[in-house]
Amino acid sequence: MSRVYNFSAGPSMLPESVLREAQASLPDYQGLGFGVMEMSHRSKPFQDIVQRAEASLRSLMNISDAYAVLFVQGGASTQFAAVPLNLMNGSQSADYIDTGSFAGKAAAEAKKYGTVNVVASSKADHYTHLPVITPDLFHADADYVHITTNNTIYGTQYTTLPDTGKVPLVADMSSNILGKEYDVDQFGLIYAGAQKNIGPAGVTVVIVRKDLLGKAQAICPTMLDYAVQAKDGSLYNTPCCWSIYVAGLVFDWLLAFGGVKAIQQQNEAKAKAVYDYLDNSKLFRGVAAKADRSIMNATFVLTKDELTDEFVKFALSRGLANLKGHRSVGGIRASMYNALPLEGAQALVACMKEFEASHA
């Protein structure tokens, strides 16, 4: 069977060239006679893999030496606890902006370790937009401010970062890291699960300003202590070796593509193609407010809801997979991460046009 255009929200589509390279090296990595999944994480070959992956990521995001780059386990959800355990060390309080399911879960987890101030939320409007953020909302003594830069389920993203003054800005960037340019120096900490724009599920990237290290709460587990992970170069224990290796291949693929700036231009073109159609369709209607629309996750519904499942099946017959919306909101979700080419978005538009012509 030929490969389809995979619109899954995660784990998501990976570049085919990366898959082919990983496949070829599976039984024998660079003539060693064994593969990365069989390789000691203490060995020189694997240390080279980790160091190259970090160097490539630093190049892609222009990460300075003022930041540590960590490859850790447990997914972004584990960082919901790791962030407060490491950073709630002054006033033992933090400000959170609630823009979706994962932002809410992050705030709920942080409440176990200190005071959480939910300073703004769009929950009352079913997260169809981002709340208005002004500097006066934040507490000057907060240990950090937490945001989720892209909301996978609801299809919204920040177009402008909030001004938090001297308070460190912490971002869950799981679903748009490397898909949109950011100035890392604007953040105290960035974390992101791999399974959308980075690589296979299993590894999580943490980018943390070094002056924030070494102040973890006494109850912080050793495995969640950023200072420990930084000191040992992400090799305190056996890491997700295979996931780190493939992530490094993805980083190199993206560098060859032209970097984040180039892929952002493609991502914006994909999103424009889909949103332009939605804005003029009588059968399909976008859900997210136009000003806050995500370029990674386009969420929409059919004006005839009873046709939703039929459209999902119709799209699959046209080689477009995993378009069903999240179970909590229904509808349709087209996740268009970096590995999905422009032709994939164009194929989706053509599919919607064909379906609408026979069902409108």
Q: Is there a shared CATH topology between the 17-257 domain and the 259-359 domain?
A: no
Give domain 17-257's CATH number out of 3.40.30.10, 3.40.640.10, 2.60.120.10, 3.20.20.150. 3.40.640.10
Radius of gyration, alpha carbons of the chain:
21
pLDDT at 175: 96
Q: Is the pLDDT at 105 greater than 70, yes or no? A: yes
Judge contact between 308 and 299, C-beta under 8 A.
Answer: no
Q: Is the pLDDT at 355 greater than 70, yes or no? A: yes
Separation between Cα atoms, residue 117 and residue 110, nearest integer Å: 10
* Average pLDDT rounded to a whole number, residues 331-353: 98
Amino acid 111 reads: K
Q: What average pLDDT does the structure give for the chain?
A: 97
Q: Is the pLDDT at 360 greater than 80, yes or no? A: no
Separation between Cα atoms, residue 128 and residue 112, nearest integer Å: 28
Separation between Cα atoms, residue 112 and residue 213, nearest integer Å: 21
* Average pLDDT rounded to a whole number, residues 124-130: 97
* Secondary element (H or E) of residue 264: helix 259-278
Q: Is the pLDDT at 1 greater than 80, yes or no? A: no
State pLDDT tens for residues 31-59: 999 999 999 999 999 999 999 999 999 99
Q: Is the pLDDT at 60 greater than 80, yes or no? A: yes
Reference 276, options 53, 8, 284, 217; nearest CA is 284
Whole-prediction pTM value? 0.97
* Average pLDDT rounded to a whole number, residues 216-244: 97
3-state helix, strand, coil in the chain (%, to 5): 40, 20, 40
The phi, psi pair for 262, rounded to 5°, reads -70, -40
Reference 249, options 4, 5, 25; nearest CA is 25
Q: What is the CATH number of domain 259-359?
A: 3.90.1150.10
Side-chain half-sphere CA neighbours of 129 within 13 A: 8
pLDDT at 2: 85
Reference 234, options 57, 106, 32; nearest CA is 57
Separation between Cα atoms, residue 338 and residue 264, nearest integer Å: 8
* Average pLDDT rounded to a whole number, residues 304-323: 96
pLDDT at 67: 98
The strand ranges marked E within the chain are 5-6, 67-73, 93-98, 115-121, 145-148, 150-151, 156-157, 169-172, 189-193, 203-209, 284-286, 297-302, 320-321, 332-335
Place of tokens 């493939």: 246
User: For the chain, which residues make up each domain, given as ranges?
Assistant: 17-257, 259-359
